[in-house]
Amino acid sequence: MAQVFHRSINWLARFSIIAVIAVVGLLFGILLNINRIDYVSEVGVAIDQPVPFSHKHHVEAIGIDCRYCHTSVEESAFAGIPPTETCMTCHSLVWTEAPPLEPIRASWRDETNIEWNRVHDLPDFVYFRHNIHIAKGIGCTSCHGAINEMPLVKIENALNMEWCLDCHRNPEQYIRPRESVFDVHWTPPADQEAQGLRLVEEYDVRVSQLTDCSVCHL
């Protein structure tokens, strides 16, 4: 029987199949790694706020403790957003006419809330509690970066699962004494691993359970 198609068609068919597989594999790889791209995770991006609040000024220059504004960070899942009353404790006396603070004054005058924009918006399927991390010796700067050096708060870390698991698998590399949790100038000591292992035991950090799915996904 005469051959209908030229033999070169076989090579074309094989090439087409290989090309389709390669493209599908490439797309799958992109989907798996897309959240690691800083452009997508917005790492390094400063989030616009209704008031240009400067942690560099309030924390670094003035020395205000994190807990003065974030009052619930040691007791609940959320660090808490300070009410206008907290701002007006100082700004009823200083910078009383500063234009950038008009939203604060308007909020106080009209008894309305300021609509702050969330910096880190974790997915609904992620269970995270600030108070647990604080109690186990994880400092603010471990996740939020050098917040005391930020004129405007920016996203320092992607907070994706791979990033979180690095700490959950090796907590001794990041854990610090509880009295240093809110110290924005704390740096790991030369014997961090040895000290970290001691604190892991002292604070009852159950490392064998930290990578269980149910720890972060209820």
pLDDT, greater one: 4 or 201 = 201
The two structure tokens encoding residue 102? 């008009």
How confident is the model over 25-43, as pLDDT tens digits? 777 666 666 666 665 667 8
**Going by C-beta distance under 8 Å and a sequence separation of 6 or more, which residues neighbour residue 33?**
none
Contact 122, 128 (CB under 8 A): yes
**Res 202: pLDDT:** 97
CA neighbor of 175 nearest in space, from 143, 150, 146? 143
Is residue 104 helix, strand or coil? helix
| Cα 67 to Cα 57: distance, rounded to the nearest angstrom | 16
Average pLDDT over residues 21-25: 81
Cα 152–Cα 158–Cα 160 angle in degrees, nearest 5 = 150
Mean pLDDT over 91-118 rounds to 95
Q: What is the pLDDT of residues 139-158, one digit of tens each?
A: 999 999 999 999 999 999 98
Place of tokens 């990041």: 174
Q: Report how far Cα 12 is from the mean position of its chain's Cα atoms.
A: 49
pTM beyond 0.85: no
- Whole-number Å distance between alpha carbons of 59 and 66: 8
pLDDT band at 7 (very low <50, low <70, confident <90, very high): low
